Amino acid sequence: MSWNQIVPSVSELHSAKRRAVLREAAQAFNRQGYHATTLEGVAKRLGITKTAIYHYFPNKNALLKACFDEVMDAAFANLAEATANGRNGREKLRRVFAGYLTHLLDALTVAVVVLEDGALAPEDRRGAYAKRDRFERALRALVEEGISDGSIVPCDPKLVIMALLGAVNWVPRWYRQDGEWSAEQLATGMSELLDRSISTQPPRSLVRRVKDIKAVGDGARDATPRKPAKRKSP
Amino acid sequence: MSWNQIVPSVSELHSAKRRAVLREAAQAFNRQGYHATTLEGVAKRLGITKTAIYHYFPNKNALLKACFDEVMDAAFANLAEATANGRNGREKLRRVFAGYLTHLLDALTVAVVVLEDGALAPEDRRGAYAKRDRFERALRALVEEGISDGSIVPCDPKLVIMALLGAVNWVPRWYRQDGEWSAEQLATGMSELLDRSISTQPPRSLVRRVKDIKAVGDGARDATPRKPAKRKSP
Amino acid sequence: MSWNQIVPSVSELHSAKRRAVLREAAQAFNRQGYHATTLEGVAKRLGITKTAIYHYFPNKNALLKACFDEVMDAAFANLAEATANGRNGREKLRRVFAGYLTHLLDALTVAVVVLEDGALAPEDRRGAYAKRDRFERALRALVEEGISDGSIVPCDPKLVIMALLGAVNWVPRWYRQDGEWSAEQLATGMSELLDRSISTQPPRSLVRRVKDIKAVGDGARDATPRKPAKRKSP
Amino acid sequence: MSWNQIVPSVSELHSAKRRAVLREAAQAFNRQGYHATTLEGVAKRLGITKTAIYHYFPNKNALLKACFDEVMDAAFANLAEATANGRNGREKLRRVFAGYLTHLLDALTVAVVVLEDGALAPEDRRGAYAKRDRFERALRALVEEGISDGSIVPCDPKLVIMALLGAVNWVPRWYRQDGEWSAEQLATGMSELLDRSISTQPPRSLVRRVKDIKAVGDGARDATPRKPAKRKSP
DNA sequence: AATGAATGAGGGTTCATTCAT
DNA sequence: TATGAATGAACCCTCATTCAT
């Protein structure tokens, strides 16, 4: 084909549009929930018609499933990265959540349809639940690892994971891109908070007060110092 | 009339039924979300007909509003109690969340429709949002107080409150009464977690390791030791 | 029975209440139409409950039928009187309409459910239609009589009757008791108008201008001069 | 594109269908009243489904409003024409009513939903009432004009207008296209009747009897002589 | 006689989905 | 590829009616 590289191929165009549809739908799902979202509304915001969506997805539920899959894919990718590079349970966990959060906050990304898992079609649900459970189990394993290696405070891993996921999954419903924080700032702030909630290390402020007596802390926990706000344009 | 105090009066019966309807609806809202909940389903689970519900609530949205109001009432009650009795910002905050959580987990109670605020009728929304914002502002003030009095680690109060609320409000969607934990255990576990996430004090486990050197901690924070599971009957 | 004549008997009470229900329902039917009228509304205005109505009428449609019957009874009564006392077709017709109108305007009376004949139950409809048709036929006969005796202008009796009934039956929908006219004034004004519309006699004002030349008119037509307003209290 | 002018364009098709829906609904409203009319029924008679209607009108009430608007538009058009061309109050009035009636009787037209004004949505009602009141006021002004110029008998304009409107608006409820009269005949007959009811001129039959003595009448009133029936096919 | 509770039928409306163009 | 038309399922809600008290 001529126009090489310049004019996008037909299939490129198709997947670009598909992607746009998915993004728009995901944002709607995040904001209003699956059932309150209408295809009409999604289409209108894209400047297309409702039926055009059906060229890219077989039905509404497929949009949800695609969201779910993407989130889970990102989750497992983060998990792999974190497991490979983290030095102890807590650090691994922090890496997972930081990556997960960054993914959620990325405007381009599909999002926390995790909240809407119940809306999946029965045939998709089993697989989705299995994936999600696998992810949660992996996270729990990291907690246990952290408890073992002393980086995480003794606790119930299941409860902790649900709590942290609650905090994280909730973000897309209240975070506004044009709001007070940049995505980066938010991710950092949340990560610190989550980290503190399970760390065996005293919080930084305390560390400073105690360090004269005895060196405490693993250093790694200060790896993400608060950066000055790099606010996006409104 | 005899049967005094024993046989419930007519109006008592009415409000008991009303309460039952509200509870059932709330559970459905929590599990599936507002829009995915059908009055038919709620009625069926109560063994009544759809229209019977209309004897107790004028419409579906009124159920949502009633949920919301109840949650907020409990929230403010906790806030008052905590403000009066807490000794510092962090302790106050912990009391608020502990009470809030207990309320959410109470089987008798209506629940976290907070997640579904967008589904409120336009005329109710303004008031509901105002109430909710007032509550969140109060929580943020507690965080600031805690930062000032040194009980809470320096942080962005807004972000912290949203994170903690996310963790807490998410609970009713995954907590099962007949599950692994009693409500009390859950409340305790969550409280400890939330508390750790903002505390300037080193975590208990660390404290033990450090206490030989220097006494640290405010004592109060161990006021709620993990009790042996008092599991409810399924 | 004691309390003779003073305390009304049980059955008197019953029929008085029945009457009250019928009146209220009739007014609602007149104002809003049968289908837009709810028994709840009728009951509320009477200060009773919806179910109480069922002590006096077996169902909503029976109220409509009762209205209809009453109107038709009055109509036939007027017809008899008018036929007996009127001196010619036109005069008879005028008497019928005047009486009919008076009945419609009587606050105590049930009313123009004629407009809602289609809402009657199928089993009642046949009878009701028969009655109504009989009445309309009688009116047409009067028109024909009037044409024959020269008191009514040549015209299509059917059309004329429908037109006059339209004008008359429409009254209850716009007439307000607390409005500008007394019932009497309205009845008089309408009668004059209806009369003029079919009369072979020149209108009064013309008569005055012509009477110098030749005596015209039947005298009877001036039998109901406009009286000064005797307004009812609000 | 070929088929020019012959095959209707897409948008023409749309508005033709819209028109068909409106007509069918209007007929139902006229026959049974607004509340007794179901969209299901309207659709069935059109051979479509209930929901198809929603492609052309946002809801049931919009159908009513469209009817109302069309009637009022025709009313004002007639008013303008009559005011411009009528020679005196009575003649103007007659022209208005004749035109109005013709419109009502036109099979293609939407009709006398005037009777159902109370069923309009609250937000539409104010405007509709204002329009209707403006029309009625204009008619009353014509009556007053007629009284002043001697063409109309002294009377209460308000009462007269309500009576005449009653007679006219009632027509669509009983007139059947496949009945005894053509629309033209009916319009003529009704017009004569209405005219007689307010005219200062002696009726034609009387005129003939009197004219030997003195010439009376304005000539114009005989402008619409009864034409021989031109019956439409059933 | 009167009531509150409850029901079932039915109507308006929304919305995902299909079809023909 | 994209659209407008059309459909059917489902839901909320109203209301006449019945029943037990």
Neighbours of B192 (CB within 10 A): 26
CA distance B232 to D50: 52
Own/partner pairs for C100-103, CB < 8 Å, 24+ apart?
C100/C74, C100/C75, C100/C168, C101/C168, C101/C171, C101/C186, C101/C187, C101/C190, C101/C191, C102/C183, C102/C187, C103/C71, C103/C74, C103/C75, C103/C78
Q: How many CB pairs under 8 A join C and D?
A: 149
D21-CA/F18-C1' distance, Å: 39
Q: Determine the distance between B177 (CA) and F10 (C1') in angstroms.
A: 31
A85 pLDDT above the threshold of 50: yes
Residues in chain A: 234
Nucleotides of strand F under 7 angstroms from a protein beta carbon: 1-20
B159 and A194 within 8 Å at the Cβ level: the answer is: no
Segment holding D150, helix H or strand E = none
Q: How far is the CA of C50 from the C1' of E3 (A)?
A: 9
**Element housing B38 (H / E):** none
DSSP calls for D25-87: HHHHHHHH-TTT--HHHHHHHHTS-GGGGGGT-SSHHHHHHHHHHHHHHHHHHHHHHHHHH-S
**Residue A56 has what DSSP assignment?**
T
Tell me the CA distances in angstroms from A1 to A5, A11, A70, A192, B101, one per residue in order.
9, 13, 32, 51, 63
End-to-end CA distance of chain D: give it in Å, rounded: 39
- Nearest nucleotide, C1' to the C-alpha of D48? F6
Nearest in space to C159 (alpha carbons), one of D105, D167, D178, D101: D167
Which pLDDT score, from 0 to 100, does residue C10 have?
Answer: 78
What residues in C contact D198, CB-CB < 8 Å?
Answer: 193, 196
Q: Do B166 and A171 touch (CB under 8 A)?
A: yes
**Higher pLDDT, residue B120 or C7:** B120
**CA angle (C149 as vertex; C146, C153 as ends), nearest 5:** 50
C118/D167 touch (CB, cutoff 8 Å), yes or no: no
pLDDT bin (cut points 50, 70, 90) of residue B48 is very high
Mean local confidence (pLDDT), A178-198: 90
Predicted local distance difference test score (pLDDT) of residue D174: 83
Whether B221 has a pLDDT exceeding 50, the answer reads: no
Of all nucleotides, the one whose C1′ comes closest to residue B46's CA is E6
Tell me which of A98-112, C83-97, C124-138 is least confident.
A98-112
Q: Give, in Å, how far the C1' of E11 lies from the CA of D18.
A: 22
Of A31, A166, A204, the CB nearest to B166: A166
How far, CA to CA in Å, does A97 sit from each of A88, A102, A174? 14, 8, 18
**Cα–Cα–Cα angle for C99, C105, C108, nearest 5°?**
105
CA distance B37 to B25: 8
Choose from B156, B193, B211, B214 for mutation: most chain A CBs within 10 A: B193
Higher per-residue pLDDT: B103 or A137? A137
- Using CB atoms, pick whichever of A116, A190, A205 lies closest to residue B154: A205
Type of residue found at C220: A
- Whether residue D159 has pLDDT greater than 70: yes
d(CA B59, CA B67): 13
- Mapped onto helix, strand or coil, the DSSP state of residue A21 is helix
Instruction: Reply yes or no on whether the pLDDT at D94 is more than 60.
Output: yes
Q: A179 and A231 in contact (C-beta within 8 Å)?
A: no
Over residues D109-133, the mean pLDDT reads 79
C41-CA/E8-C1' distance, Å: 21
Short-list B107, B100, B115, CA closest to B190: B100
Cβ contact C119 with chain F strand, < 7 A: no
Per-residue model confidence (pLDDT) at position C183:
86
The tally of CA atoms less than 13 A away on the side-chain side of residue D158 is 9
Res. C218: pLDDT tops 50: no
List CB-based contacts (under 7 A) with strand E: A 37-40, 50-51, 54, 58-61; B 10, 13-14, 17, 48-52, 54-55; C 14, 17, 48-52, 54-55; D 37-40, 50-51, 54, 58-61
pLDDT of residue B84: 95
Chain D residues near residue C94 by CB distance under 8 angstroms: none
* Rounded Cα distance, B214 and C94, in Å: 113
What digits encode the pLDDT tens for the residues A119-153? Answer: 888 888 888 889 889 999 999 999 999 999 999 99
Note the strand E nucleotides within 7 A of protein beta carbons: 1-20
Secondary structure of residue C33 in the 3-state scheme:
coil
- Strand F proximal to C44 Cβ, under 7 A: no
- Region D31-56: mean pLDDT is 94
| Mean pLDDT score, B166-177 | 85
Band of pLDDT at residue D12, cut at 50, 70 and 90: confident
Collect all residues of chain C within an 8 Å Cβ-Cβ radius of residue D168: 166
| pLDDT higher than threshold 70 for residue A109 | no
**Would the CB atoms of D167 and C169 count as touching at under 8 Å?**
no
CA C152, C160, C145, D181: dihedral to nearest 10 degrees?
A: 120
B118 contacts A193? CB cut-off 8 A: no
Contacts of B199 in chain A (CB under 8 A): 196, 203
Question: Do chains A and C have 3 or more beta-carbon pairs under 8 angstroms?
Answer: no
Interchain CB distance below 8 Å, A33 and B210: no
Shortest CA–C1' contact from D37: which nucleotide?
A: E11
State the Cα–Cα distance between residues D166 and C104, nearest whole angstrom.
15
Long-range contacts from D152-156, C-beta under 8 angstroms, 24+ separation = D152/D89, D152/D90, D152/D93, D152/D198, D152/D199, D152/D200, D153/C196, D153/C203, D153/C204, D153/C205, D153/C206, D153/D198, D153/D199, D153/D200, D154/C205, D155/C189, D155/C192, D155/C193, D155/D198, D156/C189
Domains and CATH numbers, chain B: 63-222 (1.10.357.10)
| Collapsed DSSP state (helix, strand, coil) of residue B199 | strand
Interatomic CA–C1' length for residue B57 and nucleotide E8, angstroms: 19
Question: Where is average pLDDT lowest: A139-143, A179-183, B61-65?
Answer: A179-183
Proportion of chain B above pLDDT 70, given as a percent: 79
CA distance D134 to D141: 10
Give D30 CA → F8 C1' in Å: 29
Torsions phi, psi for D23 (to 5 deg): -60, -45
Q: Using pLDDT thresholds of 50, 70 and 90, give the confidence band for residue D182.
A: confident
Q: Cα–Cα distance between D143 and D94 in angstroms, integer?
A: 10
Measure CB to CB from residue A205 to each of B171, B200, B203 and give the nearest one.
B200
Q: Which residues of A touch B192 (CB under 8 A)?
A: 155
Mean pLDDT of D51-71: 93
Q: Rg of chain D's alpha carbons, rounded to an integer? A: 20
- DSSP letter at D152 equals B
- A-B contacts (CB, under 8 Å): 146
- Mean pLDDT across chain B: 82
For residue D223, pLDDT beyond 60: no
pLDDT of residue C230: 38
User: In degrees rounded to 5, what are phi and psi of residue B177?
Assistant: -60, -35
Q: What is the mean pLDDT of chain D?
A: 82
Lowest average pLDDT, out of A105-109, B101-105, C42-46, goes to A105-109
| Cβ count within 10 A of residue A88 | 18
| Percent of all residues in chain B with a pLDDT value above 90, rounded to a whole number | 50
* pLDDT value at residue D113: 55
> Do the beta carbons of residue B155 and residue A189 sit within 8 Å?
yes
For C118, which of D32, D189, D205 is closest by C-beta distance?
D32
Confidence bin at D1 (pLDDT 50/70/90): very low
Conformational region of residue C230, where left means phi above 0, alpha means psi within -120 to 50, and beta covers everything else: beta
Task: Name the token pair of B206.
Answer: 């660390």
Q: Which helix (H) or strand (E) holds C22?
A: helix C10-32
The pTM of this model reads: 0.81
Q: What is the pLDDT of residue C113?
A: 55
Residue nearest to nucleotide E13 (CA to C1'): D59
User: C157-168: per-residue pLDDT in tens?
Assistant: 999 999 999 999
